[in-house]
Structure 1
Amino acid sequence: MDVLKEYIIPFKGLKQGEHHFVYRIDNTFLTLFDSADIENCSLIVDVDFTNKPDFLFFRFNLKGTVTLICDRCLDEFEYPINSSNDLYVRFADVDDEGAGDMVILPPSTGEIDLSPYVYENIVLALPFKRVHETEEQCNREMIEKLREHEKAGTKEIDPRWEELKKILNK
């Protein structure tokens, strides 16, 4: 876990105001989080950090590429990432989960580990549907097998049901 040491920000020792951190993310980082969705990764994460007495503010700017598996043809493809997300941290004695992009820490806390938030931002930048930009970029052999499977799976509808559908659609 020494790899994650660089992601720990000791904010109590930093002067108030703006700070900037840059992280290079690769497969080593991803293996620490058991990421099965991402095959390869080459990202730069710029973190703008504002240190105030009563709260902390982080802006994560991600830029680079990840290698994903296409949901359509199961081949790998490069997906560009360019995203920005914010994280607010406030201090309170109450054990509160926070809400959305807000984290609540005890006032005695002197550091924060950004690694889970960096990973979360990477995952949030991934598309829901992971496919090549166009079907032409997909593996031709796999696309043909999918089309054959589609044709084999279509059945003729019983004419009686077809007549009932017509009645329902009136």
Structure 2
Amino acid sequence: MKHLKYYRIPFSGLTTGKHNFEFDIDDKFFDCYEHSLVKKGQLKADVELQKQENMLIVNFHVHGTIQLTCDVCLAAFDAAQDFQERLLVKFTNDDWNQETEDVLVLSKTDYELDIAGLLYEYINVRVPYYSKCSEQGTNASCDPEMLAKLSDSPDLETDKETEEKTDPRWDILKKIKNN
């Protein structure tokens, strides 16, 4: 968790205007999150922070690769990531619990913005529901040896046989339905 301290932006000493920051996201970052969908990756986050008197506008541009596991052949492959996000940060003295996904509310006494959780969330949301080497990978295709083993699997053949074998009583009922 000490590694996540690197992903804090101390904005209290900054002047009004735009400021740019660069953050490297690697395996150490993902190791800090136990249940992360992504375990390995090499990403760079370019963060532009625009400081105003009563709010911050934060633009994220994250690019690089993350390592995913193919759901078909179980091979690890690199999937390219390149996306942008925007976040508004407002300051208030009151207890404000009405945060949305685009607006983050901080106390006027806060002096730094922790973006580690935001980066983690942005990256994990981009993980596809169904990962496949040939679709999400760069110059990757499914492992032919694993695909050959899958096609020779006796479990798949028995499923086909049970689908083809039907009770003859159902065939008679289907004829009645078609009339």
TM-score (ref. length: structure 2): 0.81
- The match for 1:144 is 148
RMSD of equivalent CA atoms: 2.4
- The match for 2:71 is 71
- The match for 1:157 is 166
**What code does the residue aligned with 1:100 have?**
E
Q: Contact conserved, 1:39 with 1:69, CA < 8 A, in 2? A: no
Name the SS for the 2:133 alignment partner: coil
Alpha-carbon shift at residue 105 of structure 1 (Å):
1.5
Alpha-carbon shift at residue 151 of structure 1 (Å):
2.5
- The match for 1:42 is 42
Task: Please give the residue correspondences for 1:77-92 in structure 2 after superposition, counting only pairs within 5 Å.
Answer: 77-92=77-92
Alpha-carbon shift at residue 23 of structure 1 (Å):
0.7
Q: 1:6/1:142 Cα in 2 relative to 1: closer, same or farther (>3 Å)?
A: same
Task: Please give the residue correspondences for 1:96-115 in structure 2 after superposition, counting only pairs within 5 Å.
Answer: 96-115=97-116
Aligned residues: 169
**What code does the residue aligned with 1:54 have?**
N
User: How many percent of aligned residue pairs carry the same amino acid?
Assistant: 32
Q: 1:66/1:163 Cα in 2 relative to 1: closer, same or farther (>3 Å)?
A: farther
**What code does the residue aligned with 2:143 have?**
N
For structure 1, the 5+ residue unaligned runs are: none
Alpha-carbon shift at residue 35 of structure 1 (Å):
4.9
TM-score (ref. length: structure 1): 0.85
Name the SS for the 2:23 alignment partner: strand
Q: Contact conserved, 2:36 with 2:124, CA < 8 A, in 1? A: no
Q: Contact conserved, 2:89 with 2:104, CA < 8 A, in 1? A: yes
Q: 1:22/1:137 Cα in 2 relative to 1: closer, same or farther (>3 Å)?
A: same
**Alignment partner of 1:17 is 2:32:** no
More moved, 41-50 vs 145-154? 145-154
Alpha-carbon shift at residue 140 of structure 1 (Å):
2.4
Deviations 1:81-128 (A, max 9, x none): 111111111123133141122211222222111111111111122222
**What code does the residue aligned with 1:150 have?**
L
Q: 1:13/1:150 Cα in 2 relative to 1: closer, same or farther (>3 Å)?
A: same
